[in-house]
Amino acid sequence: MKEVLLCKYGELILKGANKSVFEDALCKELRIRSKHFGHFTVDRAQSTIYVTPVGDDYDMDGMLEAAGRVFGISALCRAAACEKNMEAIRQTIRDYLPPFMKSRRTFKVEAKRSDKTFPLDSMEIAAQAGGMVLETCPWLTVDVHTPDVVVKIEIRENEAYVHAGQFPGAGGMPFGSAGTGLLLLSGGIDSPVAGYMMAKRGLRLEAVHFESFPYTSELALDKVMRLAGLMARYTGPINMHIVSLTQIQEKIQALCDEEYFTLLLRRYMMAIADRIAEQTGSGALITGESLGQVASQTLQAIGVTNPLATRPVFRPCIGMDKEEIIRIARKIDTFDTSIEPFEDCCTVFTPRHPKTKPELQKVLAQEQKLDFLNDVEKAVDTRKTKYILAHY
């Protein structure tokens, strides 16, 4: 029996003359991911992408899970393909559906006839298929309002397809279709969620992580690498740029008033990230800031750090509370790694009483004690880049 994965579009279907560009990006990403699970062909027709295994050595469960993380797909169906006649459809129902129906008690059948030359209409197809489902799975009863499962029969251009319901896809727009953004990735909960949310809108991600060795450990850096690998299951591979802030933090501590430590450090981070974004062709910065969550994320503090960026700064978590952010972190499986007890650079030299309503002129007065632009260039020169693949 020929099994196929049907990947259905979301908002991509609304695109106009350049729709094929988005479809090509989606097919390319599915082909890349399919290599982990065997040999598959990836083709498209009628606003659906068909992922079909070749040979017998393939992992359809793994392919289904991986495709469910591909942005641009709204729904997935694991289906059996057969000839476009009712006898073949009935035989496919007998052979294919029972394993998917064992834990179900109620069902209904829906039919979609894209090929209008098929001799039966959708209602007639559904009625005949429903009778075969009852004959094959006699423990089931029909419930047209709230069934446990919806069996679907799709009559398409070349074949008919039988499947027992569909799974939600990741939604959003295809990988890289909106350009590139540079994510400021810490080891916390928020920044992986922010990266996920912007990748869902079609951004390809680069990432920068700031470390402060020896004040931060190799375990802390390893944690961030693992977070990036978990994100990459959704976002695709990530270039991780690691920048040392050790000398900058030591200078801030030695020369500046304690209450300004975090604000000055955030200004350095924004300036360094902006410089790396320029070097990597990233059109925006992405942060995990949530308004008022910590002292450096008040309206006034953001106003002090934002001017260091010369490109848009996307803050997709800005209006979310912590529970909302945690809910997404759990969904994308980054939460447990994020809460591992390894320090990051923002926890080093933390002021006892940070400024929550800073005035820009006073911050600039503190910054005059430093060699800001030279420090930024020196920090950028410490950059090391790692290519992070998905952790499946």
Domain ranges of the chain: 2-168, 179-388
Q: Is there a shared CATH topology between the 2-168 domain and the 179-388 domain? A: no
CATH number of 179-388: 3.40.50.620
pLDDT score at 215 = 83
The pTM assigned to this predicted structure is 0.90
Distance CA 7, CA 99 (A): 21
Q: Measuring CA to CA, how many Å separate 299 from each of 10, 216, 294, 296, 364?
A: 35, 29, 11, 9, 17
The rounded average pLDDT for each run of 10 residues, N- to C-terminus, in the chain (392 residues) is: 91 81 92 93 91 92 94 94 96 95 95 93 96 96 95 94 93 93 95 98 97 87 95 95 95 93 95 98 97 89 94 97 97 95 67 85 95 97 95 69
Q: In the chain, what is the straight-line distance between the N-terminal and C-terminal CA atoms, in Å? A: 28
Residue with tokens 């801030």: 252
Q: How many CB atoms lie within 10 A of CB 136?
A: 16
Fold of 2-168: VC0802-like (3.30.2130)
